[in-house]
Amino acid sequence: MNMRGKNLLLLLRSSVVILVASISVVMAVDKDKAKFAPGPASSFASKQTNDGVTIGAEAYETEDMAKTAFGKLNPYAHGVLPVLVVIQNDSKETISLEKMKVEYETTDRERIGPTTARDVQYLNPVKRPNLNGTPLPGMGGRHKNPLASPEIEARAFAARMLPPGESAYGFFYFQTGHRSGAKLYLTGLKQAGSGKDLFYFEMPLGIH
């Protein structure tokens, strides 16, 4: 191969490398855009601090909010209300979340426990949310439906321990309609070392 041919080959190889690198950058940017990362608990409109631990909560009932976390899926349009919980530990103690209990309180003061992320995919989806604040129909058959989305489990709250200076976030899923005046209760948080219970957290959940 003559010198001209070698130069042409090197040029083609360089072009391919640049093209592959460009594609990789674009893919990385797209992946980063898809990443869900809420702000600190202290930035939430609805928040509470006990013993150096701040918890922020927000109901994701609108299409636009759901899009930031679940892509094309809006769980609330199918009868499941996602509530984002962010826990920020600014204390000097590790906080145990092993026995943390989360409940949604309706305007009628009925408390509803969350449906596990794994079980959400088996619920019978409904066309529109039940707005009277009572639980919606229960488990359905094991078949594909709009709620069988990997984002449901991927976005679920999963932390069990929270060291000092750390934060954790994720969603809890409730089979309920959502109205202004509803609240979220969290109990069972403990200091891992002493076993001391933290005071309960009570936060109003607004409507967007």
Cβ atoms of 56 and 86 closer than 8 Å: yes
Phi, psi for residue 184 in degrees, rounded to 5: -120, 130
pLDDT exceeds cutoff 90 at 187? yes
Per the model's pLDDT, the better-predicted residue between 64 and 133 turns out to be 64
The DSSP code sequence of 95-154 is EE-TT-EEEEE-TT--EEPPBPHHHHTTB---SS--TTSSPPP-B--S---TT--HHHHH
Query: Could you give the C-alpha distances from 28 to 16, 32, 121, 154, in angstroms and in order?
Result: 18, 6, 29, 19
Express as a percent the part of the chain with pLDDT over 90.
71
| Average pLDDT across the chain, whole number | 83
The CA distance from 124 to 137, in Å, is 7
Single-letter amino acid code for the residue at 188 = G
pTM comes to: 0.77
Burial class (CB in 10 A: 0-12, 13-18, 19+), 77: middle
Sign of CA dihedral 84, 64, 149, 37: negative
Question: Do strands 53-59 and 47-50 pair parallel, antiparallel, or not at all (unpaired)?
Answer: antiparallel
Mean pLDDT on 167-185: 97
